[in-house]
Each structure stands twice: as C-alpha cells, then as structure tokens.
Amino acid sequence: MIDFGYIKRLLCNMKYELFIAKRYLKSGRFFISVSTWITILGVTLGVAVVCFVMSMHNGFESEIRTRLLGTTSHISIFPLRGGLINNYDEMVNNLESIDGVVAASPFIYYKAAISSSSSGDGIVIRGIDVEKERQASNIATDIKLGKYSFEPQITENDTIPGIILGKTLAQNLGIYIGERAVLYSLKGEDLHRKTRPRVAKFYVSGIFETGMFEFDAQLAYISLESAQKLFKVGNSVTAVHLKLDNIYNAELMKPIIDSSLEYKYDIVPWYILHKNLFSWIAIEKKILFLGFILIVIVAAFSIISTLVMLTMEKREEIGILKTIGSTPASIRKIFVIKGMVIAFAGVLSGWLIALLAAFIQNRYELISLPPDIYFITYLPIDVHLFDFLLAGIVTIIICYLAALYPAFQAAKLHVVEVLRK
C-alpha cells in the first residue's frame, strides 16, 4: 500500500533543495544558463532521434507484415518432400473446419516468362481459385484497374482466359487492360529436358497494386485451371495457404493443423517463411537502440561537465550553505535535482519533437524510399508507448548516474578550505 504521508513529508523536506537547485539553473539575468540549455538540447536530440527511429521501424515492420501477409499467407502448407498436393479439395475442407482458420486457398506457384507486343520479362505465376483466394488474401481489394476475374474472352477462333498483372509489371511491359500477353512455362523439369516451353495466350483482365515492389513488378495471377494446363500438373496444386483470425496465433495453430493433416505435410507459419526479413528488421532496431544509448551517454558527459563547472562556480555558496547547517546529503540532492531537471526536460522535449515528426511524416510522407530496395514506397511511422517509455527511463537512469559524481564532489567540499580561499 502506498504511504502518501511519507511522500508528502519527503516532498516537504526537499523544498529547500528544490529551491536552491532552481536558483542554480539560472545564470545571471537569464532564466536558464547557456550550458544547461546545451545539455538539455543534447538529451532532447538523443531522445527525439531514438523515439522517431524506433517508431519508424515499428511502422516499417507493421507495413511490411500487413502487405506481405495480405498477398501471401499466415500459414503455408507444402508437401514434405517436394512434389504436388493431389487431394487438395478434401484438404481445404478439412482445414476450414478448424477453429481459428478463416480461409484456405490452394494455389500453383511457378516461374514463367511473359511477353507483350512491345516487351518481355521473367515473372512468377500464381494460379488461384478465385473465390477461395478472395477469402484468403487481399488480392480482390488490391485491384486498381479492371476487375478481379479470369473470365475468358471468346472469339471465333479461340477462347482466351484472363490474367491479372502487378502495376509495375504492366508498366514495364507497356500493356493495358484488354490487351494480349503470352506466357511461356519455365517449369524446372522442362528446362532440364531441353523441351520447348509451353505457351498460352491471355488477355489482361486486371491490374493490382500491393505497394510492395517485389510483388507489383514480378507477380501475375491466372486461374487455377489455366495454371494446371500451362504447367501440366493435372488436378494438383503446389501448396495451400491459410488465413487465420489472428496472425499471432500461427505458432499455436501449427501443431493443431499438423495433427489434422496426420503429419503428412510441411506446415510453415509466416514468421518462418519470412524469417530473414523480420530478423533483419529486429536486429536493426536493436542496433539503433544501442546507438541511442551512446548518444545519451555523450549527453551524460555534458551533464557531468555542467555540474562540475557549477560546483567550481558555487564553491563559496556551497561553503556558506554548509556553515548555516546544510548537510552533505542536502548538497548532493541539490546537484542531483539539477541533473534530473535536465533529464526530464530533455525527455519531455524529445518526446514532443518525435511525436511532431511522426505526425508530419504520416500526413505528408516527406521521407520516401526506393521500392526496389525497401519493398515499400514511403516511410510509415507507428508510435508505441513502450518505446517512448523505454527511451525516457533509460535516459533518466543514465542522467541520474551522471549527476552522482559531481554531486558527491560538491558534498565533500570542506567549509574551512572554501572560506579560506
């Protein structure tokens, strides 16, 4: 239970030290001395930079995860030793009956080449079931032009199915809605046999944009039936992916799904499938936090130098305080309080600057990113209270430790020696 009486007595006892510390913050006619301002500025910049950068990493990670999992899956199911999944209809029905699984979608995933009337490129083809994929991913909402459909165009001589291209891919090919494209199968075993690639004609029925360069520039969707014909896999699929009601339950769901499928398949949660990417983001965030600690330590040295200079400037006053009854503990408190005022002022100012910078970046997207390197086109900011509190607490602890040395030095001054000088 909190003893409020003790806290009140403690604050009353500290009124004298607070008054002296407040006076020591001033320099002549100025409210706060220049050295104190510089020290506060150092702490402010350190806190502001780390809070903004950590929020930047939170936003980057969240945006990447949202877009990545919106296009891929929360859990992917592959055959244990490669090959194909034959009984996928039965598997999908089984998986969708599990609590926590929102949708299951079978798909075919192979490399291919595509050509238009003006250009060509190597891409990745994903053959999907239109309705199942609508429930399992964001493809339907990512369509920017055309429609989410592979409904064939019927001509006098042929029936041409639809293909949905990424926005950047369509731009690179110089192709638009309704225009024709040709796909060439680049399935591995066909290349090893040196057989001619299978060819199929498509028309562009839709153009999607995920905001991730890797998908928008290299991915195309066709119907599951068209993919099965193009890659000659019969009534089989490459894998099945799942959408869960909570992505963070993937680890808990893995053994349940594995048991339901009688341990015949490789169950890969999203954090394993994209482990390298998210590990890199986490490591980079830790490195930046260590950099922040170094910045605050540098600012702490500024606190030490400021308080040491104050001790030298106020030797006579410290001596007078001791002659009128101030104890060494009171002298220490005065200097520690000044160090804490600097720390709290720097932390609060740093928080405000970081919040303002985060608001401006999210509103105006001033910092852009090269999408071919960072996957997304701008730098999103996601503020987490924990990161701000962590930065503030670490700063206050370091500043407190920095204030102890000059505080003890001031408390050790001898009255006789000071008055003699």
* pLDDT tens digits for range 18-60: 666 666 555 554 446 777 888 899 899 989 998 998 999 999 9
Count CA atoms closer than 13 A to 421's CA, side-chain side.
Answer: 14
Tell me the average pLDDT across 398-411: 89
Structure tokens at 89: 């209809």
- 148-157, 235-244, 273-282, 304-313: which range is least confident on average? 304-313
Shared-domain flag, residues 94 and 227? yes
- Residues 317 and 407 both lie in one domain: yes
pLDDT above 50 for 7: no
Higher-confidence position of 195 and 174: 174
Residues 167 and 266 in one domain: yes
Residue 243 has pLDDT above 70, yes or no: yes
Domain count for the chain, please give it: 2
Quote the pTM value: 0.79
382-395 average pLDDT score: 95
* Residue 135: count of CB within 10 angstroms of its CB: 14
Same structural domain, 218 and 366 = no
Last residue of a domain, one of 235, 254, 270: 270
Q: In terms of domains, do 231 and 203 share one?
A: yes
Residue 189 pLDDT > 60:
no
C-alpha distances in angstroms, 155 versus 39, 70, 86, 92?
77, 35, 33, 35
Q: 389 and 313 in one domain?
A: yes
In the predicted structure, residue 369 carries a pLDDT above the cut 90: no
Shared domain check, 50 and 89: no
100 & 229 share domain: yes
My answer on whether 334 and 357 are in the same domain is: yes
| Confidence check: pLDDT of 4 > 50 | no
Q: CB neighbours of 350 closer than 8 A, spacing ≥ 6?
A: 43, 44, 45, 46, 47, 48, 51, 391, 392, 395
What is the structure's pLDDT at 295? 83
pLDDT of residue 10: 44
- When mean pLDDT is compared across 357-366, 370-379, 385-394, the lowest value belongs to 370-379
**Per-residue pLDDT tens for 59-115?**
999 999 999 999 999 999 999 988 899 999 999 999 999 999 999 999 999 999 999
Q: Pick 207 or 284 by higher pLDDT.
A: 207
Same domain, 297 and 164: no
- The better pLDDT of the pair 126, 325 is held by 126
pLDDT-derived band at 294 (thresholds 50, 70, 90) equals: confident
Q: Which pLDDT does position 306 carry in this prediction?
A: 81
Among residues 270, 302, 330, which one ends one of the domains? Answer: 270
Domain of residue 235 covers: 74-270
Q: For position 20, what pLDDT does the model report?
A: 63
pLDDT at 273: 93
Task: Categorize the per-residue pLDDT at 124 as very low, low, confident or very high, splitting at 50, 70 and 90.
Answer: very high
Same domain, 175 and 202: yes
Q: Please name the residue ranges forming H helices in 122-268.
A: 130-136, 139-142, 167-173, 188-192, 213-218, 224-231, 250-260
Residue 86 CA to its chain's centroid (Å): 38
Q: Higher model confidence: residue 226 or residue 3?
A: 226
Question: 3-state DSSP call for residue 328?
Answer: helix
- pLDDT score, position 31: 45
If pLDDT is split at 50, 70 and 90, which confidence band does 3 have?
A: low
Instruction: Identify whether residues 164 and 240 lie together within a single domain.
Output: yes
In the predicted model, is pLDDT for residue 213 greater than 80? Answer: yes
pLDDT of residue 315: 77
DSSP conformation class of 421: -
**Helices of type H across 314-327:** 315-323
What would the pLDDT profile of 247-274 be if each residue is shown by its tens digit?
999 999 999 999 999 999 999 999 999 9
User: What value does the mean pLDDT of the chain take?
Assistant: 87
312 pLDDT above the threshold of 90: no
270, 292, 327: which is the final residue of a domain?
270
Q: Percentage of the chain with pLDDT > 70?
A: 89
